[in-house]
Amino acid sequence: MAGGIRAWDGLKATGLEKLGLELLMGDEDFKNALSLAYSMEDGLRQLYLALADDAEQASVAELLRKLAAFEQGHMAKIRKTTGAGLSEEDDFSMRNSQGKGKAVEGGFQISDIYPRLGSQLTTPEDCLQFAMTLEAQAQDLYQRMARKSTGDETRKVFLDLSRDEEQHLRILADELAELSGQM
């Protein structure tokens, strides 16, 4: 992609302004804010793994597993940010699973998007574009969560996560450009 991420004229965050904010009360402390982010990262990891298991092409399954590992890395970073304060089992499950299923980055519910994806992700390019859509949504959601947060430390957490998602978006854009160059 000539000009890199700054020249991007592709997928953008879309949807209702409040999408995903139902997961946030606004008064979360540092640990709860990170726990919510951790849970959404884990939700996306689980979605990628489920899609990989259903993929018909080996190249698609491989890429989806790579994307799942990418989310695993972000989960590790979130755990490290909390020090000893957040374990893998502490996944914000009470609020994140009330009636709608597990949320993924961007605030989507797995149960809402999984049934429609399998037949749409047939090439590595499809997978990267889908991942970029979710990263853009996550970046936007974390910015909105930062605006809604009442505590300075929690606001900073969400702004940092938003910047991380922007970085993820750049990496995926570079991978898509590299893949497109191989065609």
Q: Which sequence spans correspond to the domains of the chain? A: 28-181
Yes or no: is domain 28-181 CATH 1.20.1260.10?
Answer: yes
Q: Residue 82 and residue 39: Cα distance in Å, rounded?
A: 14
**For residue range 87-126, what is the model confidence (pLDDT) as tens digits?**
555 544 433 433 335 777 777 777 777 777 767 888 999 8
Task: Decide if pLDDT at 60 tops 80.
Answer: yes
Q: Residue 171 and residue 176: Cα distance in Å, rounded?
A: 9
Q: Residue 115 and residue 105: Cα distance in Å, rounded?
A: 17
Mean residue pLDDT of the chain comes to 74
What sign does the dihedral 65-49-89-161 (CA atoms) show?
positive
Task: Decide if pLDDT at 12 tops 70.
Answer: no
Quickly list H helices, the chain. Answer: 30-54, 58-81, 93-96, 110-117, 124-148, 152-181
**For residue range 133-174, what is the model confidence (pLDDT) as tens digits?**
888 988 988 888 888 887 888 788 888 888 988 998 999 999
C-alpha closest to that of 48 among 107, 134, 125: 134
Whole-number percent of the chain with pLDDT over 90: 17
Q: Would you say 161 and 24 are in contact if contact means Cβ atoms under 8 Å apart?
A: no
Q: What is the mean pLDDT of residues 36-41?
A: 82
CB atoms within 10 A of CB 77: 15
Residue 7 confidence (pLDDT): 55
Residue 9 confidence (pLDDT): 55
110-114: list long-range contacts, CB under 8 Å, 24+ apart. 110/43, 110/46, 110/47, 113/47, 114/47, 114/50, 114/51
Residue 17 confidence (pLDDT): 43
Task: Decide if pLDDT at 58 tops 90.
Answer: yes
Confidence band, pLDDT 50/70/90 cuts, at residue 132: very high
